[in-house]
């Protein structure tokens, strides 16, 4: 076990919080897994919340190590500290544990996700409704249990409309609700298969609901948005996603790490490189594979290219959503040109098929790399011209400023990350706070705004693109020579041992994707994946939109949504 000073300090703090000596299961320089008694866990959780730790991940594994039953992993992080403590908790034979959602609001979706996947019960949770298992899934169906084998299932016939909304009372904490005299009524029960999903019901004089989706105009993934309004202002929004669950985590079970890279790339199309690097790095940490320096630098170039084309789409989309297409067009043209550069470098417009545990499947020719510097010199001129045109438009500024504010106070409780958090005054960036790969030597500058509105997110995303260009140029100038793979067979990974019998262990990785912090956790048994957990930035960031729209009007929802730009696919694995 390797521990640095920060990790040792964290272990000492957890021991103090829990009032007992924790059992240390595993440790690396920036992560430590500890098991506490149930009473010790509850004391530590309370103290972690008071010390402003974020719960950045909560997931379950069945038959973990020598333990039977279900093991829960609570991953915490405190701003400015690279090390993450992972509290390990056994669910026991009854499959019940107490909820921590009152302490960590981010836990609510995590717990509902675990409940759907494994059938565990979180007692005292304020919301136990199904999350990714919609009404059509049969009772007792929990696809992440080992007993379930992938294959066709019999879906439940839905009986939408037969079940009335429940009667459990919720606190009227939303902005404007009290002023409107509205009462919030809903149901916090799991609900039976086939029953109509129980949205929160807000009732009062003049209150009406506006349902939007899940089917939308244009090419967009499904998501349902239930607005409650009085007149024009929105005083409540409830979102429902998870309409196209793909079973990615289940599909990884029993596969070799090399076979799973394609699954990681499929999590979200415009974060293919980030998720492939996240998965590969988790495997490399588990197996102790040293990645060649050149491979790490080339990975960083691809990660920044992905950030550039992803954020260009955001800048264009935000302009389109306020009817200013002339501003959007240059950004979309630049995005297409970046795609073409990606294809020249890797053979894939989305940078797919090149990452592998241990490095890269193939080297990138120097001739292709040399084209990037002049390309980005021309790119910068066009980009700055387009951005200046956007910022000189008073009508665009009027639509963006003070619209869709996400308050800084929400960042830690909901674990908001990426441009969203930076625009709300929080400089969190995994490349800086917990550097990995080439980012240990090539750190970007962080762009921060305090407004928290659409305009702040627009400016932060533009700054992120500028900083990515600087990083790419620095990486190209100092690109080392040498191999790009740790072994002789990048297709199979046999030389590194990543897919060979005997490799067992677990590790987590945090990567900074274009939308923020993505978490990958891998558990290998005898060289095969026993459990693969992914939590993208979108999974947490989606919950900010319910707050961002309050006090705004529904016509502003598209631009607020686009400025946050969460991934539907990256949330529904």
- Residue 393 confidence class, pLDDT cut points 50, 70, 90: very high
Q: Phi and psi (nearest 5°) for 294? A: -65, -40
pLDDT of residue 218: 75
What pLDDT is attached to residue 3? Answer: 63
CB neighbourhood size of 221 (10 A)? 15
Beta strands in 128-173 (DSSP E): 168-169
Structure tokens at 76: 């915490």
Question: What pLDDT is stored for residue 155 in this prediction?
Answer: 78
381: Cβ contacts below 8 Å, ≥ 6 apart? none
pLDDT in tens, 466-506: 999 999 999 999 999 999 999 755 455 454 445 454 689 99
DSSP label at residue 371: T
271 conformational bin, left if phi > 0, alpha if psi -120 to 50, beta if neither: alpha
* Spatial CB neighbours of 441, under 8 Å, sequence gap ≥ 6: none
137-190 pLDDT, tens digit per residue, is 888 899 999 999 888 887 776 655 443 333 333 333 333 334 434 445 445 555
Round the average pLDDT of the chain to a whole number and report it.
89
pLDDT in tens, 175-209: 333 443 444 544 555 566 667 788 888 888 889 99
pLDDT of residue 488: 57
**Region 1-30 average pLDDT:** 84
Q: Is the pTM of this model over 0.85?
A: yes
Q: How far apart are CA 32 and CA 20, in angstroms?
A: 16
* Residue predicted with more confidence, 80 or 441: 441
3-class secondary structure, 7: helix
Between CA 251 and CA 249 the distance in angstroms is 5
Residue 163, pLDDT score: 36
Q: What is the mean pLDDT of residues 231-245?
A: 92
Looking from the CA of 128 toward its CB, the CA atoms found within 13 Å total 18
DSSP per-residue letters across 468-506: HHHHHHHHHHTPPPS-SBSSS-TTT-TTTTTTSTT--EE
Which pLDDT does position 265 carry in this prediction? 97
Say if residue 536's pLDDT is above 60.
yes
Tokens of 373: 């510097």
Q: pLDDT by residue (tens digit) across 443-456?
A: 999 899 999 999 99
**DSSP secondary-structure letter at 233?**
B
> Which whole number is the average pLDDT over 26-53?
93
- Residue 530 in 3-state DSSP? strand
The partner residues of 27 in beta bridges, in order of sequence, read 32
At residue 285, the 3 state secondary structure works out as: helix
């Amino acid at each position: 076990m390797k521990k640095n000073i920060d990790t040792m300090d964290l272990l000492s703090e957890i021991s103090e919080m829990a009032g007992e000596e924790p059992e240390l299961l595993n440790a690396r320089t920036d992560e430590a897994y500890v098991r506490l008694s149930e009473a010790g866990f509850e004391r530590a959780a309370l103290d972690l919340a008071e010390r402003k730790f974020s719960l950045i991940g909560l997931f379950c594994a069945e038959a973990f190590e020598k333990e039977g039953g279900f093991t829960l992993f609570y991953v915490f992080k405190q701003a400015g500290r690279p090390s993450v403590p992972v509290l390990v908790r056994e669910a026991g034979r009854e499959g019940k544990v107490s909820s921590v959602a009152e302490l960590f609001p981010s836990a609510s979706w995590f717990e509902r996700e675990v409940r759907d996947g494994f059938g565990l019960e979180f007692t005292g949770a304020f919301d136990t409704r199904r999350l990714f298992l919609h009404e059509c899934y049969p009772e007792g169906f929990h696809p992440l249990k080992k007993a379930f084998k992938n294959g066709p299932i019999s879906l439940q016939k839905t009986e939408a409309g037969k079940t009335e909304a429940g009667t459990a009372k919720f606190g009227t904490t939303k902005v404007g609700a009290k002023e409107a005299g509205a009462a919030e009524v809903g149901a916090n029960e799991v609900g039976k298969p086939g029953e109509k999903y129980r949205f929160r019901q807000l009732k009062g004089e003049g209150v009406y609901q506006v349902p939007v989706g899940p089917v939308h105009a244009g090419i967009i993934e499904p998501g349902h948005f239930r607005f409650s309004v009085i007149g024009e202002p929105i005083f409540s929004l409830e979102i429902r996603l998870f309409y196209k669950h793909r079973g990615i985590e289940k599909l990884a079970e029993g596969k070799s790490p090399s076979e799973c890279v394609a699954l990681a790339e499929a999590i979200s199309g415009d974060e293919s490189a980030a998720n492939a690097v996240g998965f590969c790095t988790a495997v490399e940490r588990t197996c102790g594979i040293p990645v060649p320096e050149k491979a790490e630098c080339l990975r960083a170039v691809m990660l920044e290219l992905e950030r550039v084309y992803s954020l260009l789409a955001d800048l264009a989309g935000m302009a389109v959503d306020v009817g200013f297409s002339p501003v959007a067009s240059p950004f979309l043209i630049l995005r297409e040109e970046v795609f073409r550069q990606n294809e020249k470098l890797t053979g894939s417009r989305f940078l797919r098929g090149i990452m592998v545990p241990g490095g890269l499947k193939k080297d990138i020719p120097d001739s292709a790399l040399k084209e990037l510097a002049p390309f980005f010199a021309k790119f910068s001129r066009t980009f700055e011209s387009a951005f200046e045109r956007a910022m000189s438009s008073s009508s665009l500024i009027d639509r963006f400023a003070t619209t869709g504010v996400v308050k800084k106070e929400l960042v830690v409780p909901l674990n908001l990350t990426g441009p969203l958090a930076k625009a709300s005054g929080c400089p969190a960036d995994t490349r800086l706070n917990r550097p990995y790969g080439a980012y240990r030597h090539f750190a970007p500058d962080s762009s921060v705004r305090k407004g928290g509105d659409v305009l702040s997110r627009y400016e932060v995303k533009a700054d992120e693109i500028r900083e990515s260009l600087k990083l790419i140029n620095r990486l190209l100038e100092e690109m080392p020579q040498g191999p790009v793979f740790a072994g002789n067979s990048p297709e199979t990974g046999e030389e590194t041992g990543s897919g060979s019998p005997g490799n067992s262990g677990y590790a987590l990785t945090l990567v900074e994707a274009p939308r923020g912090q993505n978490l990958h956790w891998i558990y290998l048994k005898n060289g095969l994946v026993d459990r693969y957990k992914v939590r993208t930035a979108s999974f947490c960031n989606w919950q900010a939109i319910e707050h961002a729209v309050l006090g705004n009007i529904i016509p502003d929802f598209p631009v607020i949504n686009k400025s946050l730009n969460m991934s539907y696919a990256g949330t529904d694995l």
